[in-house]
Homo-oligomer: A and B are copies of this chain.
């Protein structure tokens, strides 16, 4: 047998970038509802980085996989249950955590709208849903997170990340997580994990466009999604206009 016991062992954590979609009344219009992309952060109550925001996370236990760690810690810390967990990277710089040698495995967690509503009513006082927005002006890329009066910025200029208001290397983690989410939406039909089982096409389109940064008319979007979804007999309710048919993922 190899001598693996002679090697030092780090503490291993999972940090979770949990994304969800909320439905909110838009500001100016009389009746419009808008879908917004949200990211779940917690305000740290202890040193280091006390008072700063961080991804929820926790330590790996002996009898579980890191994906299970991510599921467990997300629920424990924020009262939220994810529908899908996807690994997006491993963070292992020796000095990334001032408490000691702690490496972290980043997990993307996707929540459908129902789960998001639950979380807002949960008693996890120090967990907050931040509005998520992304822009890329060709040169530097920027993520803006807002929740009430809190506004956090993550700027990626040529690979160098600046994110002062975030704890640890969580600025980079959030950036990587969103890029992974974007790729998965663009190329692997993961959007549906952010929706309930039955949904109108307009919701699907709004979420898709929010994440990918694209914009196109309803007719074209319909055509492209045609073979990925199936029409049901149900209709949206409580609308002030023509209700839309509900669809189901294939």
List residues of chain A with CB under 8 Å of any chain B CB: 1-2, 4-5, 7-13, 46-48, 59-67, 87, 89-90, 92-94, 99-103, 105, 183, 186-187
Contacts and interface: CB of A to CB of B under 8 A. Distances in A.
A1 B62 contact: no
Contacts of A101: 62
A49 to B, nearest CB: 11
Nearest to A102: B4
B92 A2 contact: no
A66 B103 contact: yes
Given A1-B47, A46-B2, A61 B7 contact: yes
A92 B60 contact: yes
B92 A90 contact: no
Nearest to A64: B94
Contacts of A7: 11, 59-61
A164 B48 CA distance: 47
Contact of A94 (B13, B48, B63): B63
Given A2-B99, A9-B11, A87-B90, 15 more contacts: A1-B47, A4-B13, A4-B59, A7-B59, A8-B61, A8-B62, A9-B12, A10-B60, A12-B12, A64-B94, A65-B93, A67-B92, A90-B90, A90-B105, A187-B187
Contacts of A59: 4, 7
Contacts of A94: 62-65
A90 B68 CA distance: 12
A213 to B, nearest CB: 15
Nearest to A89: B87
A63 B103 CA distance: 12
24 contacts: A1-B46, A1-B47, A1-B48, A1-B99, A2-B99, A4-B11, A4-B100, A5-B11, A7-B11, A7-B59, A7-B61, A9-B10, A12-B12, A12-B103, A60-B92, A60-B103, A62-B94, A62-B101, A64-B94, A65-B94, A66-B90, A66-B92, A92-B105, A183-B187
